[in-house]
Amino acid sequence: MATVPIVSDERASARVRGIFDDIRETRGTDYINDFWRALANHPDELERLWAQLKTTMAPGALDPLTKELLYVAVSIANACAYCVHSHTAAARAKGMTDAQHGELLEVVAMAQRTNALVTALGVPVDAVFDRAPDGG
Amino acid sequence: MATVPIVSDERASARVRGIFDDIRETRGTDYINDFWRALANHPDELERLWAQLKTTMAPGALDPLTKELLYVAVSIANACAYCVHSHTAAARAKGMTDAQHGELLEVVAMAQRTNALVTALGVPVDAVFDRAPDGG
Amino acid sequence: MATVPIVSDERASARVRGIFDDIRETRGTDYINDFWRALANHPDELERLWAQLKTTMAPGALDPLTKELLYVAVSIANACAYCVHSHTAAARAKGMTDAQHGELLEVVAMAQRTNALVTALGVPVDAVFDRAPDGG
Amino acid sequence: MATVPIVSDERASARVRGIFDDIRETRGTDYINDFWRALANHPDELERLWAQLKTTMAPGALDPLTKELLYVAVSIANACAYCVHSHTAAARAKGMTDAQHGELLEVVAMAQRTNALVTALGVPVDAVFDRAPDGG
Amino acid sequence: MATVPIVSDERASARVRGIFDDIRETRGTDYINDFWRALANHPDELERLWAQLKTTMAPGALDPLTKELLYVAVSIANACAYCVHSHTAAARAKGMTDAQHGELLEVVAMAQRTNALVTALGVPVDAVFDRAPDGG
Amino acid sequence: MATVPIVSDERASARVRGIFDDIRETRGTDYINDFWRALANHPDELERLWAQLKTTMAPGALDPLTKELLYVAVSIANACAYCVHSHTAAARAKGMTDAQHGELLEVVAMAQRTNALVTALGVPVDAVFDRAPDGG
Provide the domain limits for residue A6. 1-58
Residue A134 maps to a domain: no
Using an 8 Å CB-CB cutoff, list residues of chain C that contact chain B. 79, 84-85, 88-89, 98, 101-102, 105-106, 109, 122-124
D74 within 8 A of F108, measured Cβ to Cβ: yes
**Nearest chain F residue (CA) to E124:** F81
Q: How many CB pairs under 8 A join D and E?
A: 25
Which residues in chain E are closer than 8 Å to C3, comparing Cβ atoms?
120-122
| CA–CA dist B76, B63 (Å, integer) | 20
F1 and F54 fall within a common domain: yes
Residues 6+ apart with CB under 8 A from B84: B72, B75, B76, D119, D120, D122, F3
Same domain (yes/no): E38, E83: no
> Cβ contact (<8 Å) for F6 and A132?
yes
Interface test with C, best of A71, A80, A100, A112 (most C CBs within 10 A): A112
A19 falls within a domain: yes
Please tell me the distance in Å from D101's CA to the nearest CA on chain A.
9
Neighboring chain F residues of D1 at a CB cutoff of 8 Å:
122-124
**Chain-chain contact of A60 with B31 (C-beta, under 8 angstroms):** no
Domain co-membership, C7 together with C28: yes
Each residue of E8-44: pLDDT tens digit? 999 999 999 999 999 999 999 999 999 999 999 999 9
Provide the shortest C-alpha distance from residue B14 to chain A (in Å): 22
> What CA dihedral angle connects E72, E77, E83 and E88, to 10 degrees?
30
Record: contact A71-B117, CB cut-off 8 A: no
Q: Determine whether the interchain pair E6/B136 forms a contact, defined as Cβ–Cβ distance below 8 Å.
A: yes
Phi and psi dihedrals of A129, rounded to 5?
-85, -5
Average pLDDT over residues F46-75: 97
Which chain C residues touch A if contact means CB-CB below 8 Å? Answer: 72, 76-77, 79, 81, 84-85, 88, 104-105, 108-110, 112-117, 119-122
CA count, 13 A, side-chain hemisphere, E102: 15
Enumerate the residues of chain B whose CB falls inside 8 A of the CB of residue E3: 129, 131
Asked whether C84 and A120 are in contact (CB, 8 A), the reply is yes
| Residues E65, E53 within the same domain | no
pLDDT digits (tens, 9 = 90+) for C102-125: 999 999 999 999 999 999 999 999
pLDDT digits (tens, 9 = 90+) for D100-128: 999 999 999 999 999 999 999 999 999 99
Q: Same domain for B48 and B86?
A: no
Residues C116 and C66 both lie in one domain:
yes
Q: Which residues of chain E are within 8 Å of residue B132 when distances are taken between CB atoms?
A: 1-2, 4-6, 38
F35 and F65, same domain (yes or no): no
The C-alpha of E14 sits at a distance from chain D's nearest C-alpha, in angstroms, of: 33
**Cα(D133)–Cα(D119) distance, rounded to whole angstroms?**
24
Tell me, yes or no, whether F82 and F41 share the same domain.
no
Q: Which of F58, F87, F102 is the last residue of a domain?
A: F58
In this prediction, what percent of chain F has a pLDDT beyond 70?
97
Give pTM, 2 decimals: 0.97
The b/e string for A64-98 (b: 16+ C-beta within 10 A; e otherwise) is: ebbbbbbbbbbbbbbbbbbbbbbbbbbbbeeebee
Residue B130 lies in a domain: no
Which candidate from E75, E102, E122 shows the least CB-CB separation from C111?
A: E75
Terminal C-alpha separation, chain B: 46
Minimum distance, in Å, between the CA of residue A14 and any CA atom of chain B: 22
Q: Which amino acid is at E85?
A: H
* Domain annotation covers residue B126: no
User: pLDDT in tens for each of the 136 residues of chain B?
Assistant: 899 999 999 999 999 999 999 999 999 999 999 999 999 999 999 999 999 999 999 999 999 999 999 999 999 999 999 999 999 999 999 999 999 999 999 999 999 999 999 999 999 999 999 998 654 4
The answer on A90 and A72 residing in a single domain is yes
pLDDT tens digits for F84-136?
Answer: 999 999 999 999 999 999 999 999 999 999 999 999 999 999 999 999 865 44
| Cross-chain residue pair A5–F132, CB shorter than 8 Å | yes
C6–E80 CB contact, under 8 Å: no
Nearest CA in chain B to D69: B120
Q: Is residue F7 part of a domain?
A: yes
Q: How far is CA B87 from CA B26, B65, B79, B90, in A?
A: 16, 11, 13, 5
The whole-angstrom distance between A76's CA and the closest CA on chain B is 8
Rg (CA), chain C: 19
Q: Is residue D133 one of the residues assigned to a domain?
A: no
Whole-number average pLDDT of chain E: 96
Closest by CA to C125, choosing from F123, B30, E17, is: F123
Q: What is the pLDDT along chain A (136 residues), one digit of tens a residue?
A: 999 999 999 999 999 999 999 999 999 999 999 999 999 999 999 999 999 999 999 999 999 999 999 999 999 999 999 999 999 999 999 999 999 999 999 999 999 999 999 999 999 999 999 998 654 4
| One domain, residues E54 and E64 | no
Chain E: list its partners (3+ Cβ pairs within 8 Å): A, B, C, D, F
Chains touching F by CB (3 or more pairs below 8 Å): A, B, C, D, E
Chain E nearest-CA distance from B134, in A, is: 8
The answer to whether residues C52 and C65 belong to one domain is no
Whether the Cβ atoms of residue D61 and residue F100 lie closer than 8 Å to each other:
yes
User: What CATH number does residue B78 fall under?
Assistant: 1.20.1290.10
- Asked whether the beta carbons of residue C80 and residue F84 sit closer than 8 angstroms, the reply is no
Q: Residues F70, F32: one domain? A: no
In chain B, which residues have their Cβ closer than 8 Å to the Cβ of D81? 119, 122
Number of structural domains (chain C) is: 2
CB contact under 8 A, B122 and D81: yes
Last-in-domain residue among C39, C58, C77:
C58
% of chain F surpassing 90 pLDDT: 96
| Contact (CB, 8 A) for A123 and B33 | no
**What distances in angstroms separate CA F52 from CA A35, B111, E37, E82, F83, one per listed residue?**
21, 16, 45, 37, 17
Q: How far apart are CA C73 and CA C107, in angstroms?
A: 9
Chain A residues with CB-CB distance to C115 below 8 A: 79, 112
* F98: chain C residues, CB-CB within 8 Å: 41-42
HSE-up (13 A, CA, CB side) for residue C123: 28
- How many Å apart are CA E35 and CA E6, to the nearest integer? 8
- pLDDT value at E133 more than 90: no
Give the nearest partner residue to E84 out of D3, D41, D45, using CB atoms: D3
Residue A81, domain member (yes or no): yes
Q: Which chains touch D (3 or more CB pairs under 8 A)?
A: A, B, C, E, F
Do E45 and A122 make contact, defined as CB atoms within 8 angstroms? no
Q: Is a pLDDT exceeding 80 seen at residue D135? A: no
- End-to-end CA separation in angstroms for chain D: 47
Task: Identify residue B29 by its one-letter amino acid code.
Answer: T
Residues of C contacting chain D (CB within 8 angstroms): 1-8, 34, 37-38, 48, 52, 125, 129-132, 134-136
Which among A41, A78, A136 has the least Cβ separation from residue D124? A136
pLDDT in tens, E84-124: 999 999 999 999 999 999 999 999 999 999 999 999 999 99
**CA A103/CA E45 separation, integer angstroms:** 9
- Subunits touching A (CB < 8 Å, at least 3 pairs)? B, C, D, E, F
Q: Average pLDDT, whole number, for chain C?
A: 96
Q: Which residues of A touch C90 (CB under 8 A)?
A: none
The answer to whether residue D136 scores a pLDDT higher than 80 is no
Position B65 in a domain: yes
